[in-house]
């Protein structure tokens, strides 16, 4: 990207080398002798001492320079600020220091018209990304521009930070951006023109992980780019076969995170983690089925070290979700107190696709009592019996009072297949899913 910091050309005093290497003593001696040296820049790139310190993660030098009230937002030849340099190189301590000192996060360079947010995303420095986002949330930027506007800011070619993260296969940065309101279907073409979506760029980059994330956030497999291509065609062109298989519009649709639902946007972090994991598990299963019989296979999931999966085998019958009879109840519906597994919660919530024009999603009701879902929380374990006012609403309480409406078909689709025979085999007294669905049809 031509971000090299050549400082040999006019470094007659060894000043720039000292900043680069963190030699504060040399720097101090020289600048105390001649304070005008503070304003020197390298000959060609016009990098200041602050740029050099920031790009090389020399936090002591940087702090010392800031104490000398050096201008935070100096520009080099490409109109890049020291903050951009630190974001490009992933120097988190310098990013933090500059942001704390009030560096402007809303500067655009002349190279690609990018901000520090673009650069952190492009190079996949998730820690820097988080610091910049947090600064944006609390600064004048969000007051004047709006936080969401900042997250979705475009570079000279119309790319948002999400586009860049997708193109560069930066899964973690992509995730952070989506979590912070990056628009999953934004097009580099801007309003009214066709351009590439983040999904097109992920297809080009060939990252299954990024594609999985984008699809789970509702990316559209049928959106066309400026050349009229859907992401599937882009993946094929770049010979990313597995990605193409997932992007093929005739493949089964993935579950989409139901972000427009109020109680989903208000989840606490534990419940959110459980549901996100269940969503990714369900989509991985789907991927496995899609890729089965093709030349591609997915490496075995890396998340199996978690404690939750281990509990499944030891779970007693009473803890089993009585919708799927397969997984442990991990989520509790408030205020009614009914419990089910994370997979079934998702089946319930992901059943209705949001209307892309309005992003309005019909809120589902509790499938057991049809009361409004105010909140979803992590279900308490059976060891935790002090919460008896909510009681143990699992199997006993819910039997016979099931009320399933529109959600039934997606329950069947998601969870019945693998668990049905299991539930049947267990036999006695259990409600079979077929019977259960028929009974509850209005």
Least Å distance, CB 144 to Zn ion, is 44
Instruction: At 324, list the tokens.
Output: 């799927």
Least Å distance, CB 277 to Zn ion, is 14
Least Å distance, CB 182 to Zn ion, is 31
* DSSP three-state, residue 96: helix
Contact 166, 199 (CB under 8 A): yes
Q: Which helix (H) or strand (E) holds 333?
A: strand 331-334
What's the 3-state SS for 149-185? Answer: HHHCCCCCCCCCHHHHHHHCCCHHHHHHHHHCCCCCC
Least Å distance, CB 376 to Zn ion, is 11
Q: Which residue, 199 or 433, has its beta carbon nearer to Zn ion?
A: 433
* DSSP three-state, residue 332: strand
Across the strands, what pairs with 372?
365
Using CB under 5 A as the criterion, which residues of the chain lie in contact with Zn ion when the complex forms?
321, 323-324, 327, 336, 338, 341, 344, 366, 368-369
Give the C-alpha separation, 288 to 254, whole Å: 12
Contact 234, 204 (CB under 8 A): yes
Q: Which residue, 193 or 312, has its beta carbon nearer to Zn ion?
A: 312
Instruction: At 288, list the tokens.
Output: 């496995």
Q: Which residue, 185 or 369, has its beta carbon nearer to Zn ion?
A: 369
Give the C-alpha separation, 18 to 62, whole Å: 12
Give me the phi and psi of 328, to 5 degrees please: -80, 145
Across the strands, what pairs with 376?
333
Q: Which residue, 38 or 366, has its beta carbon nearer to Zn ion?
A: 366
Q: Which residue, 246 or 341, has its beta carbon nearer to Zn ion?
A: 341
Q: Which residue, 106 or 363, has its beta carbon nearer to Zn ion?
A: 363
Least Å distance, CB 339 to Zn ion, is 9
Least Å distance, CB 395 to Zn ion, is 12
């Amino acid at each position: 990207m031509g971000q090299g910091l050549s400082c040999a050309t006019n470094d007659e005093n060894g000043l720039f080398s000292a900043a680069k290497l963190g030699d504060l003593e040399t720097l101090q001696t020289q600048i105390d002798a001649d304070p005008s040296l503070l304003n020197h820049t390298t000959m060609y790139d016009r990098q200041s001492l602050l740029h050099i310190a920031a790009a090389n993660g020399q936090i002591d030098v940087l702090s010392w320079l800031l104490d000398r009230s050096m201008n935070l937002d100096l520009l080099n030849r490409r109109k890049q600020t020291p903050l951009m340099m630190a974001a490009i190189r992933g120097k988190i301590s310098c990013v933090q220091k500059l942001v704390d000192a009030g560096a402007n996060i809303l500067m655009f360079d002349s190279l690609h018209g990018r901000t520090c947010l673009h650069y952190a995303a492009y190079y996949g420095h998730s820690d820097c990304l988080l610091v910049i986002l947090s600064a944006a949330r609390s600064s004048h930027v969000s007051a004047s521009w709006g936080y969401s506007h900042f997250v979705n800011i475009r570079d000279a070619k119309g790319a948002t930070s999400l586009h860049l993260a997708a193109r560069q296969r930066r899964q973690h940065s992509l995730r952070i951006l989506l979590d912070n309101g990056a628009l999953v279907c934004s097009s580099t073409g801007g309003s009214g023109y066709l351009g590439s979506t983040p999904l097109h760029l992920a297809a080009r980059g060939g990252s299954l992980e990024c594609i999985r994330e984008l699809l789970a956030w509702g990316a559209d497999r049928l959106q066309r780019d400026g050349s009229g291509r859907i992401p599937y065609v882009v993946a094929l062109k770049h010979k990313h076969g597995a990605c193409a298989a997932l992007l093929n519009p005739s493949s089964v649709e993935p579950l989409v995170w139901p972000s427009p639902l109020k109680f989903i946007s208000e989840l606490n972090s534990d419940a959110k983690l459980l549901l996100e994991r269940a969503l990714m598990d369900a989509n991985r299963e789907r991927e496995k089925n899609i890729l089965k019989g093709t030349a591609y296979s997915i490496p075995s999931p890396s998340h199996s070290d978690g404690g939750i999966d281990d509990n499944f085998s030891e779970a007693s019958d009473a803890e089993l979700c009585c919708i799927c009879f397969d997984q442990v109840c991990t989520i509790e519906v408030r205020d009614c107190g009914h419990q089910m597994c994370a997979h079934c919660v998702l089946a319930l919530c992901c059943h209705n696709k949001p209307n892309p024009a309005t992003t309005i999603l019909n809120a589902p009701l509790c499938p057991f009592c049809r009361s409004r879902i105010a909140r979803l929380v992590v279900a308490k374990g059976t060891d935790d019996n002090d919460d008896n006012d909510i009681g143990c609403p699992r199997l006993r309480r819910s039997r016979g009072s099931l009320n399933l409406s529109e959600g039934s078909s997606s329950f069947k689709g998601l969870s019945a297949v693998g668990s049905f025979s299991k539930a049947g085999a267990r036999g006695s007294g259990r409600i079979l899913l077929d019977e259960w669905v028929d009974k509850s049809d209005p």
